[in-house]
Amino acid sequence: MTVLVAAPTVAEGQAYCSLRDPNRIVQELFPEATGFRSFLRKVTRADARTLKADLALDFDPREFTTHTLYAVLQDNKILGYVQSRTEPVEWGLAEIIWVLDSDLNLAAFRFQRCRSRWKEEVEEDSLQTQLKGLSEIELLELWKTKGSKWFRREANLPDSADKLIDAVIKSGLKATGLARIVWGDDITNIRDSLASAEGQ
What digits encode the pLDDT tens for the residues 76-129?
999 999 999 999 888 788 999 999 999 999 999 999 999 999 999 999 989 999
**Interior CA angle at 183 toward 182 and 186, to 5°?**
145
Answer yes or no: is pLDDT of 15 > 80.
Answer: no
What pLDDT shows up at residue 1?
33
pLDDT at site 10: 38
Tell me: pLDDT of 8 over 80. Answer: no
Of residues 17 and 162, more confidently modeled: 162
- Sheet strand arrangement including 6-7: 6-7, 35-42, 66-74, 77-89, 92-101, 106-113
Tell me what pLDDT residue 196 has.
Answer: 84
Q: Residue 61 — pLDDT band, cuts 50, 70, 90?
A: low
- pLDDT per residue over 132-191, tens digit each? 999 999 999 999 999 999 999 999 999 999 999 999 999 999 999 999 999 999 999 999
| Contact present, 179 and 78 (Cβ < 8 Å) | no
pLDDT greater at residue 20 or residue 164: 164
* pTM greater than the 0.95 cutoff: no
Task: Find the Cα–Cα–Cα–Cα dihedral 7, 13, 19, 21, rounded to 10°.
Answer: 60
Q: Which of the four pLDDT bands, split at 50, 70 and 90, describes residue 17?
A: low
Residue 38: name the closest of 3, 74, 77, 8 by CA: 8
